[in-house]
């Protein structure tokens, strides 16, 4: 039983850290005037926390959005 209790504490601390650090939150920006798509996300704290991707619209073939 103590194994499951310790495992539960580790999992719950991991989940609380992801909530407080806003991991995965960010924005997507589609700029038709400049022809650029920008994707920004927050990752885990550290050297590479900011994830910023930039693509040209002419390089993108399709975009799929799912709403659940």
Per-residue burial over 12-37, b if 16 or more Cβ lie within 10 Å, else e, is: eeeeeeeeeeeeeeeeeeeeeeeeeb
Quickly count: other Cβ atoms within 10 Å of residue 38's Cβ. Answer: 15
Higher pLDDT, 4 or 64: 4
Question: Could you read off the pLDDT of 38-53 as tens digits, one per residue?
Answer: 999 998 888 889 999 9
Mean pLDDT of 7-11: 96
pLDDT at 20 over 90: yes
pLDDT at 65 over 90: no
Question: Could you read off the pLDDT of 24-38 as tens digits, one per residue?
Answer: 899 999 999 999 999
DSSP per residue, 1-58: -HHHHHHHHHHHHHHHHHHHTTTT-EEEEEETTTTEEEEEEE-SSSTT-EEEEEEEGG
């Amino acid at each position: 039983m103590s194994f499951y209790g310790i495992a539960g504490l580790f999992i719950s601390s991991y989940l609380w850290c992801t909530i407080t650090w806003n991991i995965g939150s960010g924005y997507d920006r589609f700029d038709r005037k400049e022809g650029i798509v920008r994707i920004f996300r927050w990752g885990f704290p550290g050297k590479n926390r900011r994830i910023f991707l930039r693509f040209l619209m002419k390089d993108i073939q399709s975009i799929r959005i799912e709403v659940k």
